[in-house]
Amino acid sequence: MIPSGFSFSTANADIDGSSSARDDIGLIYCSTQASLCGVFTKNRVKAAPVLIGMDLVKRGTIRAVLINSGNANACTGEAGVNDARTMMEAIGSRLGIDADEVIPLSTGVIGVRLPVDRILTRLDSLVGSLGDNVEALARAMMTTDTYPKVVSRGVGRASVLGIAKGAGMIAPNMATTLAIVITDAIIERTDLDRTIRDAVKSTFNAITVDGDTSTNDTLLALSSNMVKADLDGVRNTIVEVIRELAMMVVRDGEGASKLIRIDVRGCATEDDAKKVGKTVAESLLVKTAVYGSDPNWGRIMAAIGYSGADIDPADISIHISGHPVVEGGVEAGEFKEGVVKSALEGKEVSIDISTGTGKGAFTIWTTDLTHKYIDINSEYRS
Amino acid sequence: MIPSGFSFSTANADIDGSSSARDDIGLIYCSTQASLCGVFTKNRVKAAPVLIGMDLVKRGTIRAVLINSGNANACTGEAGVNDARTMMEAIGSRLGIDADEVIPLSTGVIGVRLPVDRILTRLDSLVGSLGDNVEALARAMMTTDTYPKVVSRGVGRASVLGIAKGAGMIAPNMATTLAIVITDAIIERTDLDRTIRDAVKSTFNAITVDGDTSTNDTLLALSSNMVKADLDGVRNTIVEVIRELAMMVVRDGEGASKLIRIDVRGCATEDDAKKVGKTVAESLLVKTAVYGSDPNWGRIMAAIGYSGADIDPADISIHISGHPVVEGGVEAGEFKEGVVKSALEGKEVSIDISTGTGKGAFTIWTTDLTHKYIDINSEYRS
């Protein structure tokens, strides 16, 4: 279900110079002024499209999103900003809108200038082929993703559509994720903004694959405000779509063979729970133990211990996929190694950690660390 | 060169139950009261021998060190502390010293009780075979280490001997490193203490393999105070021995194929330089890029950006093994991809990062992340 007012197209600009047949640029167009909100990477090193996007979000409305994969346009200095502006102007003039009504999104290799000339030759085709092929757009955004990520939900007569890319460098603070949420529901821009900011806390900022935070992370929300719908319903649907996109991204974590959900509770503060969850989620020893279906709970204990959270080891209890593993900081009486090993062999593993009687809790999702992750990230691409 | 007063022995207690022929317990004995200093893990989850050792260091003197590999005696609660005390008493009575004159050190799997009975049957053999085989002791301490780590240096007529184990879970704050520095040089205990505390800052706390911090890290320094020597010389030699041990540990990082030295300078504070160094050193994307000899400097830029240090991307310059890579936050004019790729193919890689004109600097050592690391840490050992 495509939200009213929006259309999509893709083209092949051979951005990475590999002569691949894959489309690598994409356009989202709105037939009316769409309200625009955004959340951007907290990395100090921000890509050119992020610097431009942060400015455009202050304007508050937009007509088009121009996306490319294969090149992040990051660490390219003033030249990179000018490259992005050249494309914004070129697509704007073809669409009959201002350059500042086009927001750019880029993902891919860092430090290489965009092949602007090649992109410019494809813009007519992009504008000429606008239609409803959202999946093609999601594919054109992909880098190491293994599948396109599209979520669609209705809410009354309105609809919410989510599109994302991301598979590596995923970490709290939204590393190399590009996500776009589009709706035709009437919603105040301040409501839309608050909704996406709340949503990312427990979704895109609660997933981690390798702890690396990217230069390009962006989540945009656009509304054409064409359809009246229940506001609470719209808000909830947006949160749900964002959550679903985040889960699709973490499931597609580079080389991942298992999805790991880590629930932490009983901490003095939510911040402590977050520290515990993030440290366990990013421990290479925990991730490799899960990969190897090794019920080595000592690695989880060690990670909790160095998380920086204010905890007493004697208060810790741990369950793996529902099975007791640690009680009072030592091996649980009911611990059955074979049972836990079998549980770890599943595609989805949960680690429940209680560190006491406090009210601080946090849930984080991650993946195991596999040989394939090393393959993907150590392969030299000239 | 063995410092006067000290002797060593090892035995096979089959601690991990694998029936391996490898010696896995070791004894260091001092014929006189040795002064004792120690630095211990900052992990909140501390192994039984760490809890006991922290107490014993307050006493200030010691006669023996009882070491085992194959079992960390961590997350074993009160029972684990009692197990350690049982061994301290048993070895003490055989040596004719107090139980509290024996300091225990353990390394290996977490959460499993020590096979105390098996160890007790080997103590007579341990006491009966004291001699000068330091290398055998270093071997008995090994877990995933691929070689024993012993360093010996003379200073006048005195000598300093260092023994260490460690190959995984190495991180700032001395993860699963056991290191023992032994000297016969006369040195005040307060001097000895200050010397090792200063030394670990730029050595064991400046190496990282996987960012995991262990429950058992311990560095002990013992002096028999039998030989007069120049104090500055003694201090410098101790620092040198500790540095050499730390380098041996990081070089033996699990699965490592390359040693990476990261020099950070130009930061506002030393703390910022440390943040940058640690973040780059622990970035899986940087580590896998080095493994694959991929001159993908964007990954270094991204890691600097999310390190939390107060830096302006436009001030960053990076050299890889002496070759310019980034200048002013963008690709250096002299960047030659082929040259940098060749440099990355070496066994030792240096990454020099300058983030401005501040005086904050820090050097950190790490290794690449390889398929073998995944092999070592995902293999299920029942």
**What's the confidence (pLDDT) of residue B99?**
98
Full-prediction pTM beyond 0.80?
yes
**What's the confidence (pLDDT) of residue B172?**
43
Whether residue A142 is contained in a domain is answered as: yes
Q: A151 and A190: one domain?
A: yes
Q: Given pLDDT bands bounded at 50, 70 and 90, which one contains residue B312?
A: very high
Separation CA A101–CA A92 (nearest Å): 7
Q: A337 and A274: one domain?
A: yes
**What's the confidence (pLDDT) of residue A220?**
97
For residue A304, the chain B residues in CB contact (below 8 A) are 44-45
Q: A306-340 pLDDT, tens per residue? A: 899 999 999 999 999 999 999 999 999 999 999 99
Q: A242 and A274: one domain?
A: no
Q: B29 and B145: one domain?
A: yes
**What's the confidence (pLDDT) of residue A174?**
41
Whether residue A1 is contained in a domain is answered as: no
Residue B72 has pLDDT above 80, yes or no: yes
**What's the confidence (pLDDT) of residue A381?**
53
Q: A240 and A266: one domain?
A: no
Residues 6+ apart with CB under 8 A from A77: B314, B328, B329, B330
Whether residue B25 is contained in a domain is answered as: yes
**What's the confidence (pLDDT) of residue B173?**
45
Whether residue B1 is contained in a domain is answered as: no
Q: B116-172 pLDDT, tens per residue? A: 999 999 999 999 999 999 999 999 999 888 899 999 999 999 999 999 998 755 554
Instruction: Count the Cβ atoms, other than its own, within 10 Å of residue B128.
Output: 10
**What's the confidence (pLDDT) of residue A377?**
81
CB contact (8 A) between residue B378 and residue A314: no
CATH number at residue A84: 3.60.70.12
More confident: B221 or B203: B221
CATH number at residue A286: 3.10.20.340
Q: Given pLDDT bands bounded at 50, 70 and 90, which one contains residue B6?
A: very high
Beta strand extents in chain A (DSSP E only)? 6-11, 25-40, 61-71, 102-109, 149-155, 158-165, 178-185, 207-208, 218-227, 259-267, 317-320, 323-327, 330-331, 348-354, 360-367
Burial class (CB in 10 A: 0-12, 13-18, 19+), B190: exposed
Whether residue A97 is contained in a domain is answered as: yes
Q: B77-106 pLDDT, tens per residue? A: 999 999 999 999 999 999 999 999 999 999
Q: How far is B280 from chain A (nearest CA, A)?
A: 10
Please name the residue of chain B whose CA is at the shortest distance from the CA of residue A290. Answer: B378
Q: B244 and B267: one domain?
A: no
Query: Which of B223, B251, B279 marks a domain boundary?
Result: B251
Whether residue A100 is contained in a domain is answered as: yes
Q: Helix, strand, coil proportions of chain A in percent (round to 5)?
A: 35, 30, 35
Q: B117 and B88: one domain?
A: yes
Q: A195 and A298: one domain?
A: no
Q: B138 and B247: one domain?
A: yes
Output the CA torsion sign for A84, A86, A91, A95: positive
- Nearest beta carbon to residue B45 from set A294, A305, A381: A305
For residue A297, the chain B residues in CB contact (below 8 A) are 110-111
Query: Which of A194, A224, A251 marks a domain boundary?
Result: A251
* Active-site residue (options: B176, B203, B213, B366): B176
**What's the confidence (pLDDT) of residue A382?**
43
Closest CA to A44 of B274, B302, B325: B302
- Nearest beta carbon to residue B377 from set A169, A284, A302: A284
Average pLDDT over residues B344-371: 94
Separation CA A264–CA A282 (nearest Å): 14
| Structural domain span for residue B267 | 259-378
**What's the confidence (pLDDT) of residue A210?**
60
Query: Which of A251, A280, A295 marks a domain boundary?
Result: A251
Which tokens go with A322?
């529902």
Q: Given pLDDT bands bounded at 50, 70 and 90, which one contains residue B174?
A: very low
Residues 6+ apart with CB under 8 A from A210: A168, A169, A170, A171, A253, A254, A282, A369, A373, B284, B285
Tally C-beta pairs within 8 A across A and B.
220
Separation CA A155–CA A229 (nearest Å): 7
Q: B284-305 pLDDT, tens per residue? A: 889 999 999 999 999 999 899 9
Over chain A (382 residues), the average pLDDT of each successive run of 10 is 96 94 97 96 92 96 97 95 98 98 94 96 97 97 92 97 80 67 98 96 81 82 98 97 92 87 96 94 91 93 92 96 96 95 95 97 92 81 48
Q: A213 and A318: one domain?
A: no
Q: B279 and B161: one domain?
A: no
Mutation target among B272, B282, B377 for the A interface, most CBs of A within 10 A: B377
Q: A242 and A287: one domain?
A: no
**What's the confidence (pLDDT) of residue B212?**
62
SS3 assignment, position B8? strand
Whether residue B349 is contained in a domain is answered as: yes
**What's the confidence (pLDDT) of residue A1?**
85
Which tokens go with B284?
């899986």
Closest CA to A95 of A122, A126, A119: A126
Beta bridge partners of B142: none
Q: B112-122 pLDDT, tens per residue? A: 999 999 999 99
Residue B48 has pLDDT above 60, yes or no: yes
Q: How far is A220 from chain B (nearest CA, A)?
A: 21
| Domains: count for chain A | 2
